[in-house]
Structures are given as C-alpha cells and as structure tokens.
Structure 1
C-alpha cells in the first residue's frame, strides 16, 4: 500500500489547485491526486472553449501561487459589471476604477488553464493517478485507505474530496447531500460581438430568466442564459442565425450587436450542499461540498476559498495532527459562514428576480437605482463579486 500525507480525489480545477497550494505551502508533504479523466494533450484554442470567472480576490491568491498571469491570451479582464432588470428602470454599474484595482476579475478559458494546472502538478512533484477512480474506501483510526479502479491501494492521513457536484466518493462516504433542482436550466455558448466588448460584463434579468455575458478574448462573450427547462430544447435546436436574433431580442443592445454563436449546450440548475463538509480524516471542497446557481458567478471562487482556508489550517497544524478531529473541525468552522452567506445570497437572487410581482419589481428597480447613485450602497455587491469575503473590506 502506497502511503501519502494527503490524497486528493479529483484532479479538476479545484483538486489540482488544492494540490499545488499544499505543495507550495510545504514541499515535504507527500501529495497524491486521483483523477478519472486524462487531460487533453495539445490543447488548441477553439471558438467554443468554455470559460470560468475568477473574482479579483481569487486572481490575487492564484498569482501568489504562481498560477495566474494576466498576460495569458486565454484570460480576459473584467473592467466593468453592468446589472439591469429588463423592462424596469433599475440598473447599476460597478467599475474597477471605483475600487482601485486593475480588474474586477478575469474570465479564463477552462481547457488551456486545465492543461496548465496539470503541467504544474508534474513539476511540483505531486503523484498523479490518472485515469483512475476510487472503488473502495475505509476510514481507519490513523489513516484513510482507498482502492483504485486499477486495484492499486493507497493510504493517507487526510483525504480531500474534490470530484464535483455528482461526487461518487462523497457517495461512498455516505455524506448527506441535500439538493433542490430549479425549474430552470442554463444554456451556455460563446457569442461574437461587433465592435468588441471593452472588458464589460453584463448581468441582465429578463422575463425568461437571468442572462450573463462575460468578456472573453477575440471579441467574444461567454453566455449563460437561464430559462425554464421547457424552453431549452427549442433554443438549442434553432438555426444559429435565428438564435442570435432571439438572443438580441431578449437581451437588447446594451452589450452591442451579436453576430455569431458557437456550439450551444445546457445543464440543469440546482441548489445543493452537504450537511457537514468533514468526516473522519476526510473533507470536501468545491462543487463536491456545494452546488450553486451561476447567477453571480460565485461557484469556482467559493471553492477556491475552501482551498485558502484549508491551507491556512494546514499552516497552523503540526504534521502529526494532520487529518485528526481538531484539524477537520477547524476547517469546518472556518468555512461555515462564507458558504452559508454565498448560498443564501445566490438562492435569494434567483427567487427575487424570478418573481413577476409588480411590487417586487419596483423594489428591485429602486434598489438598483440607489446603488447607481452611491458607491457606498453598492460596495457590498462589489465586495461579493470581487470575492473579498474572507478578510478586508471595500469602502
């Protein structure tokens, strides 16, 4: 049986980042990563590459680890965020200049970034088991023992579970994961815009559902369009020209003239979380611990703060205490408030902006209008968007 200090199940963005952050903290830790899917070799840029939003605080943290460069061709700065309620007068803008930072965040293409992370794993001395998955798991007093799909047996003082919202490892451990499936699904695609986007992002609430446009390289937007599940299939099947026309009609012209759409796909939207993020010598991070609506672009950033807190607990723990009750309890307490706040916020936004009541719509508009008039009033929203929830404030 191969022995490790820390094993991570899941080598996606959360798992790989956690492994690299731990190796950066202490190179003496023996770290292994178990990943079910081999990364793509020779990743070439594609119009249809999926993207993810990094909040400003996430960017600062990743830069401290040597895991982000603003000069990358597949990273695009968000200079301004526009929030509006279609058909109502309320709207507001959040500008990077108001908070003395170069960008409110960055939009990063997942494929090239994932390939970069796996290259870093090799150079950091992390042992990668890929492709492999966990078939058996046993929690012992002093370690956790796992058996892989290729029959290899591994043990560790601490097991970190980072294998996504449908985590099979979480199921093996019998974590109680409660979830609510929204009546909406998310349609995602990349959109070309005439004249460029100038680093502007949009969160627009419409009668169909919330729509987000995030700026990407090469004058593209990453579109997330939430709509009733019954509407998804017609929008996925219609001709590209017809889809672009429908999108323009639903969104309006605030973001410019849309000229081209790439491949479209969709996924169901849900609200889900575990009752506890820890078990004996095991803990959960990222989507394995919490699945949230994409309405505010908080998913990966919340998972990255899981990693930050984990590394802080590691830094204040003697190696012989790694994975014990005091260790896992410290991690659990450090994450409770942030996870509760973000999940409550995103779920409340979904319900608030899905409400067709005229009185509620008036309240929404008044709130957005007030934010437009006062930097102080919109500071809490800016703080959340930029990820400044662990420490420090924006005034």
Structure 2
C-alpha cells in the first residue's frame, strides 16, 4: 500500500489546482491525485472549447501560485460588465478602471488550461493515478484506505473530494446532496461577434430567463442562455442561422452582430449543497460540495476559495493534526459564511429578476438605475463579481 499525507480524488480544474497549491507550500507533504479521465493533450483553443470565468480575486491568487498568465492565447480579460433588465429602463455598467485593476476578471478556456495544469502536476512531483477510479473505500482511525480499479492500494491521512457535481466518491460516503431544481436549464455555446467585443461582458435578464455573454479570444463570446427546460432541445438542435436569429430576438444587438455559433450543449440548473462538507478524514471542495446558478459566473471562484482556505490550514499544520476532527471541523467553519453568502445572493438575484410583477420590475429598474448613478451603491455588486468577499474569521 502506498501512503500519502493528502489524496485528492478528481484531477479536473479544482483537483489539479488544489494539488499544485499544496505542492508549493513550505511543508513537505506527499500528495496523490486520482483522476478518472486522461486529459486532452492540447495547448491551443478551438472554436467550441468550454470556458470558465475567473474573478479578479481568483486571478490574483492563481498568479501568486504561478498558475495564470494574462498573455495566454486561451485567456481573455473582462474589462467591463453591462447589467440590464430587458424591457425595463434600469441598467448599469461596471468598469475595471473604477476599481484600479487591469481587469475585472478573465475568461479561460478549460481544455487548454486543463492540459497546462496536468503538465504542472508532472513537473511538481505529484503522484498521479490516471486513468483510475475508486473500487473500495475504508475509513480507519488514522487514514482513508482505497483500492483502485487498477489494483493499486493507497492510503492518506486526508482525502480531498473534488470529482465534480455528480461525485461518485460522495456517493461512496453516502453523503446526501440536497438540491432544488430551477424550472430552467442552461444552454451553452460559443458565438462569434462582428467587430470584436473589446473585453465587454453582459448580464441580461429577460422575461424568459437570464442570459450571459463572456468575452473570449478571437472575437468570440461564451454564451449562457437560461430557458425553460421544454425549449432546450429545440434550441440546441435548430440550425445555426435560425439560432442566431432567436438569440438576437432575445438579447438584442447591444453586443454587436452575431455571425457564427458553435456546438451547443445544455444541462439542468439546480441550487445544491452537500449535507456536510466534511466527513471522517475527508472534505469536499468545488462542485462536489456546492452547485449554484451560472448566471453570475461564480461557480469555480467559490471552489477556488475552498482551495485557498484548505491550503492556508495546511500551511500551519501545528493548528491540528492533518485530517483529524479538529482540522476538518476548522475547514467546515471557515467555509460556511462564504458558501452561504454566495448561494443566497446568486439564488436571490435569479429569483428577483425572474419575477414578472410590475412592482418588482419597477423596483429592479430603480435599483439598477441608482447603481448607474452611484459608485457607492454599485460597489457591493462589483465586489461580488470580482470575488472580493468575506471568507470567514480565522
């Protein structure tokens, strides 16, 4: 049996970043990663690559770790965010210059970034079991012991679960994931815009559901279009010309003229959270721990703050024995406020703008209009988008 201090299950964005952050500590931890899928050997983006939004705070942290470069061909700065409510007068803009930063955040394409992270794992000396899945899991007093489908037996003082929203490891531990389904799903695609986007992002609320456009390289936008579940299949499979027409009808022409759309995919929208983010010598991070609406682009950023919190605890192991009850309980308490805040604010935003009441619409418009006139009123929204939130008392 191979023994580790920390074993991370899931080598995707969250798991790989967690392993690399831990490897850079001044503590000599033995770290292993179990990942089910071999990453694509890819360093250049394609038209249809999926993307994630990195808030300003996340970018700063990844830069400190040497895991982000603004000059990458698969990274695009968000210079401005335009927020509007379709059919109503309220709107506001958030500019990077108002907050003394080069960008409010960046949009990064997942496939080439994932290949970069896995190359970094090899260079960092992290033991990678890939492709591999867990066959059995046993929790003892001092360790978590696993057997993999490859026949290997491994054990760790602490197991970090980062294998995504459908986490099979969470299921092995019989941890319930409490979720409430929205009445909508999300359609995602990349669209090209004539004349470029100049780093501008859009959050647009319509009577049929929220929409977001995030700037990408090569004059593309990453589109997140929330709509009734009954419409998803129709919009996903209609021809490109008709889809672009429907998109303009719903969004308008504020972003410019859309000229091309790539492959479309869809997924259900839920608000969800694991019943406990810790278990005996185990803790959960990222999508394995929580699921939020994508409209504000906060999903990966919330997971990245899980990683920051965990790494800060690991940097000072004298606080508690790694992986024991006091260690995992400390993590749970530190993450509670941030997770609660982001989940509540995101859900409230979606429900507020989904309400068809004329009185509510007037209130929304007045609120957005007031933000446009007052930087003080706009600041809380800007700070949330940039990821500068209270993470808990240490």
Could you tell me the TM-score, scaled by structure 2's length?
A: 0.98
Residue of structure 2 in register with 1:346 after alignment: 346
Deviation at 1:381, TM superposition (A): 0.4
CA separation of 1:193 and 1:329: change in aligned 2, threshold 3 A: same
Once the two structures are superposed, the pairs formed by residues 172-183 of structure 1 within 5 Å of their partners are 172-183=172-183
Q: How well do the aligned residues superpose, as a CA RMSD in angstroms?
A: 1.2
Q: CA deviation at 1:319?
A: 9.1
Q: Residue 60 and residue 278 in structure 1: after superposition, are their counterparts in 2 closer, same or farther (change >3 A)?
A: same
1:196 counterpart residue number: 196
Match of 2:31 in 1: 31
Give the Å deviation of 1:253: 1.0
Listed one character per residue, the Cα deviations across residues 102-125 of structure 1 (whole Å, up to 9, x for unaligned) are 000000000000000000000000
Are 2:105 and 1:113 aligned? no
- Separation of aligned partners in 2, 1:42 and 1:188: 21
Point out where structure 1 has 5 or more consecutive residues left out of the alignment. none
**Cα deviation 1:330-371 (Å, max 9, x = unaligned):** 111110000000001111111111111111111111111110
What's the counterpart of residue 69 of structure 2? 69
* CA distance in 1 between partners of 2:10 and 2:228 (Å): 31
Q: 1:381 to 1:360 in 2, by over 3 A?
A: same
TM superposition shift of 1:176: 2.1
Name the stretch that deviates more: 44-53 or 339-348.
44-53
Matches within 5 A, 1:71-110: 71-110=71-110
Shift in Å, 1:318: 2.9
How do residues 124-139 of structure 1 correspond to structure 2 at under 5 angstroms?
Answer: 124-139=124-139
Paired with 1:71 and 1:28, the residues of 2 have a C-alpha distance of 32
User: Which residue of the partner structure matches residue 10 of structure 1?
Assistant: 10
SS of the aligned residue for 1:25 comes to: coil
Q: Which runs of 5+ in 2 are unaligned?
A: none
SS in 2 for 1:301: helix
Contact map agreement 1:295 1:349 (CA 8 A) in 2: no
Q: How many residues align?
A: 392
Please identify, of 213-222 and 35-44, the stretch whose mean Cα deviation from structure 2 is larger.
35-44
Residue equivalent to 1:304: 304
Q: Could you tell me the TM-score, scaled by structure 1's length?
A: 0.97
2:320–2:326 Cα contact (<8 Å) kept: no
Where 1:77 maps in the other structure, the secondary structure is: strand
* CA apart distance, 1:177: 1.2
For residues 194-229 of structure 1, the C-alpha deviation after alignment (integer angstroms, 9 at most, x for no partner) is 111000000000122100000000000000000000
Match of 1:337 in 2: 337
Distance (whole Å) between structure 2 residues aligned to residue 58 and residue 270 of structure 1 = 24
